[in-house]
């Protein structure tokens, strides 16, 4: 009976303690989930198709959903463009799935697949600073980006 107790209770308890000890040094990624107000300097973008594409997406707010280090950015444009990204340490980045092309009649429809964003989170976790570009657009420079986290009910952070 004592042997059964040790096997059924003691061994799982030792396993749990081993798992907790092994995970002691793991650190979760910084939280960037929530709604962020965008502020971009579109004057840096030459007038053309990419100006309109970026202006349509990079205004108002962006909602960021987060699961671990994976992000989903949903922009406030008419089509609610979505971009997948990651956070590594304090850097938020997205990778474009396709090249931007003005030859495509629906280039602006597929903006979520061509936009690239790279931004750093400040120490307080309430501001992003970085750049946005269109993958493959040789005439579109990096556009400076700043975003501030909106705080619900007057509280700071999340």
- Spell out the domains of the chain, with CATH numbers in brackets: 34-151 (2.40.128.120)
Q: Does position 155 have pLDDT exceeding 80, yes or no?
A: no
Q: Report the 10 Å Cβ neighbour count for 32.
A: 23
Tell me what pLDDT residue 11 has: 87
Average model confidence (pLDDT) across the chain: 79
Tell me what pLDDT residue 152 has: 60
Half-sphere exposure of 109 (CA within 13 A, CB side): 4
Q: Does position 7 have pLDDT exceeding 50, yes or no?
A: yes
Tell me what pLDDT residue 109 has: 44
The three-state secondary structure class of 19 is: helix
Contact at 8 Å (CB) between 132 and 19?
no
Q: Does position 141 have pLDDT exceeding 70, yes or no?
A: yes
Which residues have CB under 8 Å from 146's CB, separation 6+?
38, 39, 40, 127, 128, 129
User: What band does 106 get if pLDDT is binned at 50, 70 and 90?
Assistant: very low
Most confident of 25-39, 40-54, 106-120: 25-39
pLDDT, tens digit, for every residue of 76-102?
877 777 889 999 989 999 876 655 555
Q: Say how far apart CA 106 and CA 108 lie, in whole Å.
A: 5
Mean pLDDT on 141-157: 73
């Amino acid at each position: 009976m004592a042997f059964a107790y040790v096997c059924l209770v003691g061994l799982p308890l030792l396993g749990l303690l081993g798992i907790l000890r092994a995970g002691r040094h793991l650190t979760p990624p910084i939280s960037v989930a929530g709604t962020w107000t965008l502020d971009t300097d579109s004057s840096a973008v030459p007038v053309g198709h990419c100006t309109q594409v970026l202006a349509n997406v990079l205004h108002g707010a962006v909602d960021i959903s987060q699961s671990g280090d994976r992000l989903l950015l949903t922009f406030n444009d008419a089509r609610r463009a979505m971009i997948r990204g990651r956070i590594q340490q304090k850097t938020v980045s997205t990778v474009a799935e396709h090249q931007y092309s003005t030859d495509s009649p629906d280039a602006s429809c597929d903006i979520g697949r061509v936009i690239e964003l790279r931004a750093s989170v400040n120490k307080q976790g309430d501001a992003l600073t970085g750049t946005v570009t269109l993958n493959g657009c040789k005439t579109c420079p990096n556009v400076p980006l700043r975003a501030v986290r909106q705080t619900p009910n007057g509280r700071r952070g999340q």
